[in-house]
Chains A and B, each alone.
With several copies, the nearest count.
Chain A
């Protein structure tokens, strides 16, 4: 499903954010990605949804070589990938409903189906009563769950979640984790970048540790 081969990534002028990363994540896997702040987790995820192109090396998602993908094809890759951004990226002038609906509108869903589906997922997140709020009128944790809902609403093949529980309490965190696990059971491949040791430890899933852009540990290989 996801393959990285000798990937090297450096932002203009800076040193390498990722060095020589080779990685294989099979369809249906559930993976944690961890490492100190600035280790390159977000950078790695950005490569997987085509927000960045690797400086060197190959990134293959679902059989498609992202580095060789013409930009007109990129949207179709992104529709298979649901992303929870570390900074949420919610649109502050749209309601919660509209923010979550975006993913489905892009796919051409009809209004009725969208409303039904969005209500369903917001209810799962415990936020159905905030449907008509705007993101700026939500608490930090509520925003984070909206971002999660937007990523999951179309049940994408791949779910990339960048620090999805940083603003959540124990209980919400458990709920979010179980929702992600359910999606995983239904077939989605899940990659979660997180600092949350407790989350990682309680899950007994594959763990990849980054440090200064290198993979220093991969529980699957050791």
Chain B
């Protein structure tokens, strides 16, 4: 074999970016195989961390849903003098509809009002003896749109409502709305705090774990440099490896979560005669699932990148 043959390097793996990428991906998977125990430990840890994260998300999503249901109770009741003709009623409804934030309007007649009232007095029906429905006023019950249910928005809405001449009185449980609003803010604040916390913790756990695995392979990093590999050449397979670990970890977490969710649905149904479908226990929406997978990829990538920095200072 003459020098000429060798000195001019033979044709490259596959020329161009594609060939390079192919080499890097192959290298990354070979590395995973050759460091299988460490990789399994890493993927296991990432899975568990993501399991906690996705569980927290699942709880968050369902809590959000519950509080939404609760906030349906934020409703404004508008009273008006005497009875209205059907024509007047529909003009009134139209005017109310025109106010920003209105979701739904229900007409409550005197008869209905009385019925409801007697319902609330269960056990003390004696009280209603001799009370005729004419004592009770008819009213319009207005449901507000989701974004208009906090205390400020409601009072703004009520101010608008009061401007309509036919309406004589508006009731909306000011105190209750205020407290509810506070409570919601608090829950949201706490939720975001907890979620942020968990995200941070998961990020650091994953980064730490990846750092440990790269630590265990610092000899390899050193040798690659000594043999003439560029920084990029050394890093790329590790970065791909990190992405694979992150995505696989996140996927495993999501699979386990799905399993647990289904098992829970089933058993809750069975043990508590609690109809979970009716109760509307939600799974993570697709957007969250995609975000988690991307998060895994990003975390694996960035975790590897940050860890490599310490060792590659060629």
Are B219 and A91 interface neighbours, CB within 8 A?
yes
- How many chain A residues sit at the interface, stated as a range, is 35 or more
With most chain A CB atoms within 10 A of its CB, the pick from B10, B219, B223, B313 is B10
* A21 CB–B CB distance under 8 Å: no
Q: Which of B6, B11, B224, B314 contacts A110 (CB 8 A)?
A: B11
Bound: A106/B219 CA distance, A: 17
Are B227 and A78 interface neighbours, CB within 8 A?
yes
Are B12 and A75 interface neighbours, CB within 8 A?
no
With most chain A CB atoms within 10 A of its CB, the pick from B9, B13, B228, B231 is B228
Are B12 and A93 interface neighbours, CB within 8 A?
no
Determine the residue in chain B with the shortest Cβ distance to A76. B228
Are A155 and B229 interface neighbours, CB within 8 A?
no
Are B1 and A120 interface neighbours, CB within 8 A?
yes
Please report the total number of B residues contacting A with Cβ < 8 Å: 32
Are A155 and B314 interface neighbours, CB within 8 A?
no
Are A75 and B230 interface neighbours, CB within 8 A?
yes
In the complex, chain B residues 25-72 whose Cβ is within 8 Å of any chain A Cβ: 27, 30, 34-35
B1 CB to nearest chain A CB (Å): 7
Q: Mark A48-81, 1 if CB is under 8 A from B, else 0.
A: 0101000000000000000000011011111101
Bound: A103/B230 CA distance, A: 12
Determine the residue in chain A with the shortest Cβ distance to B15. A108
Known contacts A109-B13, A155-B3; A89/B229 CB under 8 A? no
Chain A residues within 8 Å of B220, by CB: 91
A123 CB to nearest chain B CB (Å): 12
Q: Which of B3, B13, B228 contacts A111 (CB 8 A)?
A: B13
A103 CB to nearest chain B CB (Å): 5
Bound: A108/B307 CA distance, A: 25
Bound: A76/B219 CA distance, A: 20
B218 CB to nearest chain A CB (Å): 11
Are A106 and B224 interface neighbours, CB within 8 A?
yes
Bound: A89/B9 CA distance, A: 25
Are A110 and B13 interface neighbours, CB within 8 A?
yes
Chain A residues within 8 Å of B14, by CB: 110
CB-based closest 5 A-B pairs: A79-B228, A78-B228, A113-B10, A186-B3, A108-B12
Q: Interface on A for B, CB 8 Å cutoff?
A: 49, 51, 71-72, 74-79, 81, 83, 85, 89, 91, 93-94, 98, 102-103, 105-111, 113, 117, 120, 150, 154-155, 186-187
* Selected A-B contacts with CB under 8 Å, 25 pairs: A72-B231, A75-B225, A75-B229, A75-B231, A77-B228, A78-B226, A78-B228, A85-B226, A89-B223, A91-B219, A93-B34, A94-B34, A102-B223, A102-B227, A103-B227, A106-B233, A107-B228, A108-B12, A109-B10, A109-B12, A113-B10, A117-B6, A155-B7, A186-B3, A187-B3
